[in-house]
Structure 1
Amino acid sequence: MKTLTALSIASIIGLTASLAHARDLGPDEALRLRDAGTIQSFEKLNAAALAKHPGSTVTDTELEEKYGKYLYQIELRDPQGQAWDMELDAVSGQVLKDHQDT
């Protein structure tokens, strides 16, 4: 019985870890999702981020799938040299996180 309980707990932990794990999407898959209309265009997502930080420059972007959602992560550098980390819902374009990189 103890073995069965230990296996059940290990399975639950493994399932929880796999559900919480973010999956980075490569360029081919990202373009396929954009072309299918599943996610916003990268230009629109970048524009939404830049609207929050006018005059900034995009330094890095990444698309990932996490918790069944497509998330667009973007790093910016503003005119004062401050770095910003943002996360947008890639489907709606809604800004989910916006904070200074310390």
Structure 2
Amino acid sequence: MDTSKLRSKRTVIGGIALVAALGAGGTVWATAANAGGKPDADDRVLSAEERTSVETAALAAIPGGTVLETEASDDQGVAYEAEVRDPAGQEWDVDLDASFQVVTKTADADDDGDDD
């Protein structure tokens, strides 16, 4: 095979690889730039004190229940969310305000045991 054709193929393949790498890097950079470095309120990690207060309020709303999950909320008027399973096995979503007062308490309609 002619060495000039071989060099030409290597150049083309190398160019394609470079473009692909730059494209992937640009996508990652754009995603990070759009994130703005500021986490959403619902991504905020609760302090131990907050977690305890959320659990206490949620269990008062669902007596005898078990808290499955707690998190901060980014919903308007809702500062915290808790998922609670009552003694009968029904799961509830309990929304709390910043003072740990119940805003809403809703039976989880999709209670089939798979968290998908």
Same fold (TM over 0.5): yes
Shift of the alpha carbon at 1:97?
A: 0.8
When you count strand as a share of all residues, which structure comes out higher? 1
Partner of 2:69: 60
Question: What's the CA shift string for 1:18-43, capped at 9, x where partnerless?
Answer: xxxx742332xx33xx7xxxxx6221
Structure 2: state its 5+ residue gaps: 1-39, 110-116
Q: CA RMSD in A?
A: 2.2
Q: Equivalent of 1:72, from 68, 80, 102?
A: 80
Count of aligned positions: 70
Higher Rg of the two aligned structures: 2
Structure 1: state its 5+ residue gaps: 1-21, 35-39
Q: TM-score, normalised by structure 1?
A: 0.57
Partner of 2:108: 101
Q: Hey, what's the Cα distance between the residues in 1 that align with 2:67 and 2:60?
A: 12
When you count helix as a share of all residues, which structure comes out higher? 2
Partner of 2:43: 25
Q: Hey, what's the Cα distance between the residues in 2 that align with 1:72 and 1:97?
A: 11
* Percentage of pairs with the same residue: 37
Q: Hey, what's the Cα distance between the residues in 2 that align with 1:52 and 1:64?
A: 18
Shift of the alpha carbon at 1:70?
A: 5.7
Structure having greater relative contact order (Cα 8 Å, sep ≥ 6):
1
